[in-house]
Structure 1
Amino acid sequence: MPKLVPKFIQHFELAVEKGSLSLGKSDDPVLHGWSKLKHPPAQMTYACLIAVMDAWPPTMYQMKRIPAPASTMSWDVEFIAPIDDLNGEEWIASVNEARHIEDGYGHEESTFWAPDGRVLAYSRQVVAIFA
């Protein structure tokens, strides 16, 4: 759906455990699941990890009933564990939750895990949805 889904998403695989990638499918601003690159490099890099982390839509977007543009206002990422033992083909687990939502503004916090259960990174993001 070219006008609803960003073109970059074609480069990722997302597997949702909780929440939804569709509009109007949830009243809860939570997305849990796994993500990876469709055409990964042999070795994971921090640039690839950041891209995989950023592939998820804002959690509050699934609460919207009609499409609206969204933008990141600020994003802070803390890398917790080294990634030099990860190959690019592994799924990265994540829990993404909005801690505050009001008038199109949301503060989201996320945690990302390696397949062996190690926390790789924490993320805090401020998102605006214009509707």
Structure 2
Amino acid sequence: MMSIEHLIRQLETQSTISIPAGWGQGRATFGGLLGSLMLSRLHAVLGDLTNDRVLRSATISFIGAVAPGDVEIKTEIFRSGKSVTQASATLLQDGAVMALLLANFGSSRVSAIDIPATISSPQGKSPEEAMKFAYIPGVMPEFIQQVDLRWAQGALPFSGAKQADFSGWMRWKDTFPVMSVTHLLGLIDSWPPSVLPVLKGPGNASTLSWNIEFLSHDFNKSSEHWWQYQVTTDFAHSGYAHAVAHIWDDEKNLVAISRQVTTVFA
């Protein structure tokens, strides 16, 4: 099975790629992988601009179900000012738009405002103590084989729980020396939708739109380091769920805020 590292590196030098089998999420390709692929291509096109302009926020829309096979990623730079660049990456398969990423890159600047994070990392089980999310063929998405998830707090999916929220630890199973924003973007999306623990039996849910904000970029981490994840459901009604997740590194630094609208078919 081709790893995340191998796939995103391909897009540093080309705009087309063949998505291999083993990255499925139901009938579609894992959305986190698509996000990482689009971001990788966008970084390559921006080139030297990304030396000081880092990804501040991105919005991703999943439009169609991407199947294994060839895809093309087209990019467009809308505006590049003194400190901010706004651009997009569009993923196409068989000529149809299947996913879209809108990204904002910005350089650091001197500011009189400095407000530390107001939310702290969960005080729960360590990665070694938490329950390993083992892959069960035919029950779990194929891409789960690529990630190491450890369930620390909250009920499991389809357990009929009263509370929808949970937390845990995550990392890629693949081994590589430098953990970048591109790697972390896909990893964050590997968790199940926040409302699945409330369901009493198997049911389908998929991400409609995803907004992610990065607060930190100089991780100084490899693929072996753990990242902590906690998700809270703000509202769910009429087949749509709205959730926010916070992500910390293994030193309790808040590094990202993820917001998703999920379509629930149950």
**Alignment TM-score, normalising by the size of structure 1:** 0.91
Matched, 1:65 2:200: yes
Counterpart of 2:142? 7
What does 1:1-131 align with in structure 2 at a 5 Å threshold? 1-131=136-266
In structure 2, runs of 5+ residues without a counterpart are 1-135
Instruction: Report runs of 4+ in structure 1 exceeding 3 Å deviation.
Output: none
- Decide whether the 8 Å contact of 2:155 with 2:164 is kept in 1: no
Partner Cα distance (1:47, 1:110) in 2: 18
RMSD, aligned CA: 1.4
1:35-60 Cα offsets, whole Å, 9 max, x none, are 01112311102221012101100110
Counting aligned pairs with the same residue, the percent is 29
More off after superposition, 106-115 vs 1-10:
1-10
In structure 1, runs of 5+ residues without a counterpart are none
- Decide whether the 8 Å contact of 2:215 with 2:256 is kept in 1: yes
Residue 45 of structure 1 aligns to which amino acid in structure 2?
S
Measure how far apart 1:3 and its partner are: 3.4
Measure how far apart 1:87 and its partner are: 1.3
Measure how far apart 1:25 and its partner are: 4.8
1:41-87 Cα offsets, whole Å, 9 max, x none, are 11102221012101100110111112122111110000100144111
1:62-118 Cα offsets, whole Å, 9 max, x none, are 111121221111100001001441111111001111110123311010000011111
Rg (Cα) greater in structure: 2
Partner Cα distance (1:65, 1:3) in 2: 18
Q: Name the structure, 1 or 2, with higher relative contact order (CA <8 Å, separation 6+).
A: 1
**Alignment TM-score, normalising by the size of structure 2:** 0.47
> How many pairs were matched up?
131
More off after superposition, 100-109 vs 90-99:
100-109
More off after superposition, 109-118 vs 21-30:
21-30
